[in-house]
Amino acid sequence: MPIVVNGTQISSLNYGGTNIQTVYCNGVLVFSAAPATPTNVTAYPISNSVVKITWSTAARATYYKVYRSSSSSEYTYIGSTTGTSCEDTVPHNKAAYYYKIEACNDVSSSPLSAASNEVLFTRPNGPTLSVAGCGKTITLSWSAVLGATSYKIYHKVYRTDAPTGNTEYSLIATTTDTNYASNKQTSSFNFFYVVAVTGVGDSDQSNVVSA
């Protein structure tokens, strides 16, 4: 039960210049400073109807309330959890969704967090790809795609001196990392691109790099 003085709930206590976080009476929590507001709220689809939401731990929180909006303004309570992630089955996948988190304890709660990123059930943009190194071995690196579970690397060869040695793009590897070391044919042009695998399908392909 919160401390109430003259009908007003006390939201903070200070003793000798020190902020008091909790007060117990006979082993019962009667006052707790409000939990910190959750941060880093991130959401992304993991299937054609389910969104995963994650956020950072908030000080003094013992559980969290999750709110959803399909307009970025009106938020509806959809559930609570003691962890820092949850999954939400949305009413339909033709709308854009946003999420906010409220940190709570037995006495008080935080303001709602800032809104998550926009969640769309559409093919995501591809990663941005770069290449480094020289000689036979090169390293491909790319930007992470939100919600990606893995990445596919495609490669083709082009030879100006021997057209019969040319190839079409083919899958050479799948990885959960955002980099990949590859051997190349040093007597030819080598081209690469990357595709992210997500819960709503493959992303667009990245830009093409050559080595």
Q: Answer yes or no: is pLDDT of 194 > 70.
A: yes
Per-domain residue ranges of the chain: 34-104, 129-210
> Does an H or E element contain 68, and which?
strand 63-69
The confidence score (pLDDT) of residue 68 equals 98
Question: pLDDT band at 33, cuts 50/70/90?
Answer: confident
d(CA 116, CA 52): 11
Sheet containing 42-45: which strands, arranged edge to edge?
A: 42-45, 50-54, 85-89
Phi, psi of 164 (to 5 degrees): -70, -15
Q: Print burial letters for 93-105: b (CB count within 10 Å at least 16), e (below 16).
A: beeebbbbbbbbb
Percent of the chain scored above 70 by pLDDT? 80
d(CA 206, CA 39): 30
The fold adopted by the segment(s) 34-104 is Immunoglobulin-like (2.60.40)
Q: pTM of the predicted model, to two decimals?
A: 0.80
Q: Answer yes or no: is pLDDT of 1 > 50.
A: no
- CATH code for the structural domain at 129-210: 2.60.40.10
User: What is the per-residue pLDDT across 110-150, written as a single tens digit (0 to 9) for each?
Assistant: 999 999 999 999 999 999 999 998 778 899 999 999 999 99
Which residue, 184, 181, 190, 131, is CA-closest to 157? 190
Question: pLDDT band at 14, cuts 50/70/90?
Answer: low
